[in-house]
A and B are shown apart, each in its own frame.
Chain A
Amino acid sequence: MPSNELAAGPPVPVTPTTSAAEDVIHDIGFRHYDGARFGRGWIVRSLLVETVRGIFGLGRPAKSKIMPWVLFGILMLPPLIIALWVILTGGKDLPLSYTGYLSSMQFVISLFVAGAAPYCVSRDLRHGVIPLYLSRPMKRSDYALAKFGGLSIGLFLVLAVPETLLLLGAVLAKLSIGHQLAGWAGGIAISAILALALSSVGLVIAAFTPRRGLGVAAIVTTLLVASGMSFVLSGIAEQKGYLKLSDYVAMLDPFRLVDGLAVAWFGVSSSSSTAPPPGALGGTVFALVAAALVGGGVAILVRRYRKVGVV
């Protein structure tokens, strides 16, 4: 097949002596690739990186960058103000604990999740992109896990940067380093757990709502309703005298769940007046529920993608 050799053959080497030939563009035909082909590890990592970038609007149109960066900016404001205030007034401690910061920014964090989770999964579902992923050397669960990992990392960054800003302010204000470092480490740990829990809730909802706007609304509503329910039920239980029940009902809200973990593990005071988990048992139960929330979410997500893209 001479035409084949002509088309797919190696490019004719251009010798430096014939300078005129260097300006000519040769159509060298379709080139084949014999190099390395990486496996699932590389593919999952690439998809994860792509997801994290996309959450912050990188590689997407300008208008996709507005929401994440505005919300990220809002999340950085309190640490900046607190840091300045402590530096200028010379206080003995931060007016807000590292973990308390997470609870106080609950609404903004919820909005960020509501914007990011649908981007991660709804877009591919809506526009039918899944078959293109499935026809590549990866497993269905790889896709779900990469998206989960990507959103978790993106969320963690959004929480960890303000936490670190708080630490920076405390250090500049010459507060006790050891104490602040311990507080910061706790804040980072709780941020990580909160990122996992919120990713799990957000992605499960988004994966069942291919319409992006619907997904955003559903996630905000779910997080707000969960929070409201948990406070209302806690209040009712407390009035009726079931104090333990009142404490445990806090677990309905992911933010109060991780707040309870912060109280149990790091001994910080609870940011919501009603939620100190009772003792070692309480801490264990809260931890188990958090693990179940994350694990259950991932399991539902993986299950969901077992069905997508098959007739």
Chain B
Amino acid sequence: MGRYASDFRGERHVFRDLAELLAKASPRRSGDELAGLAAESDAQRVAARAVLADLPLTRFLEEPLIPYEEDEVTRLIHDSHDAAAFAPVRHLTVGGLRDWLLSYDATPGVLAALAPGLTPEMVAAVSKLMRNQDLISVASRCRVTTAFRSTIGLPGRLSTRLQPNHPTDDLRGIAAATLDGLLYGTGDAVIGINPATDSVPNCIALLEMLDGLRERHDIPTQTCVLTHVTNAIRIMERGAPVDLVFQSIAGTEAANRGFGVDLAVLREAREAALALKRGTVGQDVMYFETGQGAALSADAHHGLDQQTVETRAYAVARAFSPLLVNTVVGFIGPEYLYDGKQIIRAGLEDHCCAKLLGVPMGVDVCYTNHAEADQDDMDTLMTLLAVAGTSFIITVPGADDVMLNYQSGSFHDALYLRSVLGRRATPEFEAWLERMDMTDRVGRIRQFAPQEGAMRRLLSGQDESLAL
């Protein structure tokens, strides 16, 4: 391990190794302070960025941050690195990559071809040299398209996860929240429930209810109950209707072990889901969640700053061709991201880094009640992310998740973003909304009177299950 030093504008700064250099170059955040990794002063932070800027990208191939022998995520990153794809930027420094990514040469086609040649560490490093507008500019040029029953990530589109959670998994309550969301035109990325009770029979009951609702109305989307991957395997063995396999993942082998998973079990679950052949326009069957702070909270961060180790999780994700990935950016709490400023920055970093690596990133634009954040911060972040081209956002009734006790996006937020930025739902879902007579002449979601067609159609056929 080399030492990294600089005489930056007359001040001498020394960094022990690559991990420390990356950590000190990171924008300030509470999780790195908690871990004792953050820069000791603002000046030291800038000096670290200056050293990082001069570092050749090839250094990240020569010097793994976590030893190859110790960590299967490191092995995955290095074994799957595509040297041919890397060739066009091989000669660059981290700072040179930043400038090149912002140049007019970095077109969507060029960036898509580059993705397999980039490692998470290179991407994390360059993001530390980027301002928020750089993160938005670069991400907006990345195209990552995935498909199952709908096609997510096409230019000009913004999809939504409809998240109809209920504190006791009441089927009627979940169906009610789902219908509410559909009436705002949300759910084209997935209708996905976080179950309150993580048992196999309960998850099967939820899956069957969602699948029945989807089939009855012929909705071109996918459903998911976000249970542990090992539960999903058992649920598929019992023949329940599983579209997508969900799992929370992180950027180190030890952190993934904390989630009770490894690469082998993810592979096994993906193969089982592929065998069901339930997709119509594609067969991307995995759904992952990530989030800065996950590795540190499992004490499995190996001395890496939280943004660098988060980016390594995207290497895990891309190995399984996921339909959807989202960072739960503000969920994990103020000890990792203290306030709106830190949440906004992290959301833009996670989105940009994932997209550069070819991962279909969406964002749970969210916060908890003990963070210094509010709806104004979420408005800012979701608007920036929609400009940056986020694949999807998460939406719940009135922004209030009554099961997980945090605030996410609302169905109304989706209407707002689609209106002000002209973003549309997936082509398949858009056609369904038209068939259901839910859109007006310019494609906006109509506001329904209770007696009206779309409302009646969606609520009818529910009479038995909902006892309206």
The reply to whether chain A is a binding partner of chain B is no
Interface residues of B (CB under 8 A from A): none
